[in-house]
Structure 1
Amino acid sequence: MRQFTWTQKLKKLPKWTPYLVFLFLSIGSIYFTVLHNQTIFYGDDLSFNLSRIEGLAGSILNGDYFPQINYFLTGGMGYATGIFYPNLFLYPATLFRLTGLSLIQSYVIFILLVNFCTFVIAYHSFLYLHRKKRESFLFAFLYGLSSYRLSDVVFRAAVGEYLAIMLFPFVFVGIYLIIFGDEKKWFLLPIGMALIFFAHLLTAGLVILLIICFLVMNGRRLWREKTRLRSLFFATLTTIPLVAVSLFPMGEQLTFQRLRVQDNPVFYLQKTAKTIGQYLEIGVKNSGYNNLGLLVMGLLLISLLRIMKLSSLGKQLILIALLFFILSTSYFPHWLFHDTIFNMVQLPSRYFLLVTFCTLWAVAENVTKLAFSKPKVVVGFVALLLIGTLISNFHSQMSTMGNGARRKAKYEEFLAIDGQKELGYGVEFLPSGMTSWMAPTGLLSNPSGEGVTITDMKRERNIFTLSYDVAQQTNLIFPLLYYKGYHVEGTGDFSKVHDARKFEKADMHGFLEVTVSGQGELKVWYVGTLIQKVSFGISTISWGFVLIYFIRKRKID
């Protein structure tokens, strides 16, 4: 009777088997922390991101399919999340919400979808470059269950970052092809970079740091093969129009007015950096927002001890992982960079994304060189990791987290979310120096004084209308946060919209104001800016070309 080796048996499995496993892992890895008893951790950014979804759903119902201003946040006064936090990847959760599911149900299904896509993208990215199914599955398994990613999903509810983690392997394929592989396929990098940008701007910055590391390590190679440098240049230029829809409006708003993010950094790197011992302690507990996990730290150490046995790419990845692990610790003088662009990283633990990815890719690529040459050892290692991860997640769910941002909450607690106070940790995109906070009535704040008559005040969706009759020049202050793009039209003598000044001796800076005289009518609403509209057109056309290219290429192939 013919005997089959483990590898041969693996090849005999149906092609859909990995996806079935990924589906099981997508559910099982978060079952006790997100699904069990309909209880979820009240993560740092959970309410903010739920409010983003609810605001997007409300805008779509009102016919605004690409909103720049979220009126659910701030109770109707409008927060510019559409400008500073691209909505692209929130549309699936929003569509679930529009079908009638509750907000938290929509979010939970969204998490499961992201989990599954993370495994699939990781699997196919590795498989595309190395053509090894066993190693590809191992990488996807380790990457999808990595402690840092699960911490983002469960404890932080950091939607932007765990979306970026999902996309990171695809971006790496683009980087690899330009520097090590077929540089003629450079167009994959700008597509990946654009998607990362739409998911999480700070992670796009980390990708740039990764590219810089590879450029330094492979300087001689690139100098000899200048076609690779040209491909990188083309990729960079191509990325700009693809992200124009978000990049240019963001820059326009930051130059139009000063926002809190430009004055007061939300975090300082030195204050949040920890020692290696503290990271080890967090890894043992397997909970917290800055959890690299013992597995990645252990594999990084093993890879360093056996670095000479690794492939050339594996060596570079491990050295990059070590570099960013050092950067994440308090041993590095972060205080030197507090007033530089590097402070935008906010949390040194964000470097763990690079540490995790580089370590796990190097291990999967060189698994047979790291004392894991026997298939049974690999199977046992994988099985133990799966059991350990599920038990750890169960322990995290059952353990007492205390009060505060990471308390456990039943799904029904989110039925009453109103968005008024859910602006994110740093409220960084409020106007700088804003001191007053108007009660969000949804209507005009009446000016006081004799000879002032305001009638027919109403608000339909996000359009304010009124009639006025004033004896002297009067400032009308609206309960709307002041951003570029608001417009006023009507009859009579009235000014353009501008930043508010005083109201009953209170400084109303940060709210929208219109100055009127005599009699007339006003209509105020957000119409956007020319740059927003042109940028939308540029990106739409650019993505159209990308789509046409792939359609034609598929027909040719």
Structure 2
Amino acid sequence: MVDYGFHLTRIVGLAQSIRHGDFLPNINHLFTYGTGYPTPMFYGNWALYLPALAFILTKLGTVAFAVYTLQIVLATTFSVYYCFSKMTGHRKASFYAAILLPIAYPLFGYGMTLMVPLVPCLLYAIHRVLFQKKYNPIPLALVIALLIQGHILSTMILAITSIVVVLFLIRKLDLKGIQSFVTSLVIGLLLSIGFILQFLEQARSQQFFYEWKTRDFPFKTTFTSSEVKSLFQTLLDLFFKFNVNDASSYLKWLLFASMFWLFFYFKKCKPFTRVLLGTSLILLLATTNLLPWTSVLRHTFLSALQYPNRLIFFVPIFLLLALVNEGKERWLRGMLVVIVPVYLFMILTTYHFQNKVALDYMRETNRIMSEAYVQIPALKDYLTPSGDEYYTIDVHHKEIRDRDTLVKFDELNNATVRNIRYQYNRLSFDIQLQDPRKEAVIVLPKIWYKGYRATYSAGAQGSQPALATRKRSQSSLLGWLEKGMKVKESQVLYNGKMRLTVTKSGHVDIYYQKTWLQTIGFVLETAAWIFLAFILWKYRKKSQRE
């Protein structure tokens, strides 16, 4: 499963935080032998609380992930039926679409899949303003807030897609519509202000690996002439190169075939259908070498995509909506008759001919997660941070996976460390300087992120945690420039582990504490949600009186 272990570690790490009374954590303390990884500050956790509670109750990673997938499937089904029927008035066709769409997105270990239930809501929020002339900004604001705090990359793709949709419908956009969209954006940002501020604060605190736009780990960014294909080759791959053992491939084939079929009757299609088809076609064309991916775009913010095909990830939703909007009940019913039996057959055969390797992997993952949940730190087993995006730009990918390198104290030339104790979000130890007249510089088995603090007691004195750095060599600077990355002159050492300068012996405690900016941000965000709930309550009460 794509990134199954990564997202399961996010769930179990949140469960561990909840168990220790930390309901809004900044660091996931399970990753990389317990040295910590800031996934809560770069991915929102709002969709993980229910799976985390499931893990707390069962101690089984498979159950927790099953709850995670179930909530995505149910949310997708309900959002498709409700939003599609509201936009089109075709309830039966919307019902068929609600059954079909979850089949198109089976990769629940893929971060973008989490955002699928929000796409129908996003389209409905735009449709309300442009077609129904309902200017309430709250629905779109809620979708924006959940997208931002769910998956930044999906938010970027859907923002681009939404702009294309609105441009197609520019004649329907009046002053009230503009005001509604702007208000929605402002409210959505306010509802996410805590997450946004902590994201920006961390992003500015150091150079992260994800900033290297053409990075080559865990796979090479595919904006090369051999990977960005021509339109002809893209169409060939779309229709003749798919996984025959995957029911979602058959459904996507049928949907893209339907798209080109509808283009033959484009003039007869309804206006909103034309917009959906046009947007889908533009996104498809944008994945090809018609755009300068290999030269200009690979050095822009679009390089975050890593491969241009991400742009069409949500297109099946647009195509299903186009069929529903045209009232193609027979088409959709035909798809159900073909796809659902194939889907069920593949599930049954997969269950009957159980893959021993997959089963062993699931059992081993369950064991690792249950042990990591109670063991602090999780020193025994390696829990992968996947692409290492939120480590320093100077990370060594092999070293960060080497337990002996990672979990040891470094640079203990003038100091002895004793009584090392690990607790949740706390590393404690006694330090004795061998020569009291000299300071000691030590590197701790914790990855540094802004917010880590040190408190000294029993006579100890020293600095706050910081990165260990040195000036880069000229060859290092030139090497990074050749790779397309402009780095700072200071090179980060020890894969981003934190450094302390200790001037007096005693006791030291290391822990993560929210910065003042994070605290202010989440106070404002909480106030925004409370105020919004109050406004909605007042509005509902007023409506009931009327």
Please give the alpha-carbon distance, in whole angstroms, between the structure 2 residues aligned to 1:333 and 1:546: 43
Describe the superposition over 1:352-386 as per-residue Cα deviations: whole angstroms up to 9, x where unpaired. 23321211101111024xxx5xx6x7645432332
- Pairwise CA distance, 1:44: 2.2
Is the contact between residue 283 and residue 293 of structure 1 (CA under 8 Å) also seen in structure 2? Answer: no
Higher mean C-alpha displacement, 52-61 vs 490-499: 490-499
- Alignment CA distance shift 1:349-1:361 (3 Å): same
Q: Which of 500, 511, 519 is equivalent to 1:533?
A: 519
Please give the alpha-carbon distance, in whole angstroms, between the structure 1 residues aligned to 2:248 and 2:275: 27
Whether 1:314 aligns to 2:265 is no
Please give the alpha-carbon distance, in whole angstroms, between the structure 1 residues aligned to 2:249 and 2:153: 16
Is the contact between residue 292 and residue 352 of structure 1 (CA under 8 Å) also seen in structure 2? Answer: no
- Pairwise CA distance, 1:72: 0.6
Q: What's the TM-score, normalizing by structure 1?
A: 0.81
Alignment partner of 2:135: what SS? helix
- Per the alignment, residue 487 of structure 2 pairs with none
Q: Which of 113, 126, 141 is equivalent to 2:99?
A: 141
Describe the superposition over 1:270-324 as per-residue Cα deviations: whole angstroms up to 9, x where unpaired. 4655522223234362549999721111111111112122110001110111111
Is the contact between residue 251 and residue 339 of structure 2 (CA under 8 Å) also seen in structure 1? Answer: no
Q: Which of 18, 23, 36 is equivalent to 1:65?
A: 23
- Per the alignment, residue 123 of structure 1 pairs with 81
Please give the alpha-carbon distance, in whole angstroms, between the structure 2 residues aligned to 1:278 and 1:74: 38
Q: Which of 148, 156, 164 is equivalent to 1:213?
A: 164
Which amino acid counterpart does residue 466 of structure 2 have in structure 1? H
- Per the alignment, residue 430 of structure 2 pairs with 467
- Pairwise CA distance, 1:79: 0.6
- Pairwise CA distance, 1:443: 7.1
Is the contact between residue 477 and residue 511 of structure 1 (CA under 8 Å) also seen in structure 2? Answer: yes
- Alignment CA distance shift 1:529-1:292 (3 Å): farther
- Per the alignment, residue 245 of structure 1 pairs with 194
5+ residue gaps, structure 2: 216-220, 373-377, 471-491
Alignment partner of 1:88: what SS? coil
Is the contact between residue 141 and residue 188 of structure 2 (CA under 8 Å) also seen in structure 1? Answer: yes
Please give the alpha-carbon distance, in whole angstroms, between the structure 2 residues aligned to 1:62 and 1:441: 28
- Pairwise CA distance, 1:456: 2.9
- Alignment CA distance shift 1:127-1:440 (3 Å): farther
Aligned 1:12-161 pairs, distance under 5 A:
43-146=1-104, 149-150=105-106, 152-153=107-108, 157-158=109-110, 160-161=111-112
Q: Which of 403, 416, 423 is equivalent to 1:453?
A: 416
- Alignment CA distance shift 1:549-1:70 (3 Å): same
Please give the alpha-carbon distance, in whole angstroms, between the structure 2 residues aligned to 1:360 and 1:185: 26
Q: Which of 447, 453, 456 is equivalent to 1:481?
A: 447
Is the contact between residue 325 and residue 352 of structure 1 (CA under 8 Å) also seen in structure 2? Answer: yes
Alignment partner of 2:422: what SS? strand
Whether 1:493 aligns to 2:461 is yes
- Pairwise CA distance, 1:331: 5.5
Q: Which of 336, 352, 355 is equivalent to 1:382?
A: 336
Please give the alpha-carbon distance, in whole angstroms, between the structure 1 residues aligned to 2:248 and 2:89: 34
- Alignment CA distance shift 1:310-1:538 (3 Å): same
- Pairwise CA distance, 1:434: 2.6
Describe the superposition over 1:54-102 as per-residue Cα deviations: whole angstroms up to 9, x where unpaired. 1111111122111111111111100111111111101111000011240
Which amino acid counterpart does residue 439 of structure 1 have in structure 2? R
Q: What is the number of equivalent residue pairs in this alignment?
A: 493
Higher mean C-alpha displacement, 235-244 vs 412-421: 412-421
Which amino acid counterpart does residue 254 of structure 1 have in structure 2? A
5+ residue gaps, structure 1: 1-42
Is the contact between residue 97 and residue 103 of structure 1 (CA under 8 Å) also seen in structure 2? Answer: yes
Alignment partner of 2:58: what SS? coil
- Per the alignment, residue 361 of structure 1 pairs with 321
Aligned 1:137-286 pairs, distance under 5 A:
137-146=95-104, 149-150=105-106, 152-153=107-108, 157-158=109-110, 160-222=111-173, 225-266=174-215, 267-270=221-224, 273=228, 275-283=234-242, 285=244
Alignment partner of 1:145: what SS? helix
- Alignment CA distance shift 1:171-1:114 (3 Å): same
- Alignment CA distance shift 1:467-1:137 (3 Å): same
- Pairwise CA distance, 1:401: 9.7
Please give the alpha-carbon distance, in whole angstroms, between the structure 2 residues aligned to 1:317 and 1:402: 43
Please give the alpha-carbon distance, in whole angstroms, between the structure 2 residues aligned to 1:183 and 1:189: 11
Superposed CA RMSD: 2.9
Please give the alpha-carbon distance, in whole angstroms, between the structure 1 residues aligned to 2:315 and 2:439: 61
Please give the alpha-carbon distance, in whole angstroms, between the structure 1 residues aligned to 2:415 and 2:303: 49
